């Protein structure tokens, strides 16, 4: 006598896991992709390309990036003699 048929297989069980989204963090100054972070992240990072120091937070809507220190290697404007 086979009794296998009543074995319930749990599929697509709803999970109570909070949804997290992966956001791409780009340098505010030069646009280089710095990191990929989940919502809820809060971090400091230095851009490897332009050396800007950045602080960013990520929420469900997306990343918010602030420049802490502007990049050093900006072209310096020529000094104008008056």
| Contacts with Zn ion, residue ranges (CB under 5 A) | 27, 29-30, 32, 47, 49-50, 52
Q: How far is the CB of 35 from Zn ion (least distance, A)?
A: 12
Q: Which residue has the tokens 């791409």?
A: 24
Query: Which residues, 6+ apart, have CB-to-CB distance to 66 below 8 Å?
Result: 28, 54, 55, 56
Q: How far is the CB of 28 from Zn ion (least distance, A)?
A: 8
Per the structure block, which two tokens stand in for 70?
């502007």
Helices and strands, counts by H and E, the chain: 0, 5
Q: How far is the CB of 20 from Zn ion (least distance, A)?
A: 26
Closer to Zn ion at the Cβ: 31 or 40? 31
């Amino acid at each position: 006598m086979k009794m296998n048929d009543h074995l319930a297989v749990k599929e697509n069980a709803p999970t109570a896991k909070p949804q997290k989204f992966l956001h791409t963090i780009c340098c505010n100054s030069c646009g280089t992709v710095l990191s990929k972070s989940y919502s809820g992240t809060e971090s400091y990072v230095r851009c490897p390309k332009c050396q800007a120091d950045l602080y960013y937070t990520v929420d469900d809507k997306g990343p918010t990036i602030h420049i802490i220190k502007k990049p050093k290697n900006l072209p310096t404007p020529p000094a104008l003699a008056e």
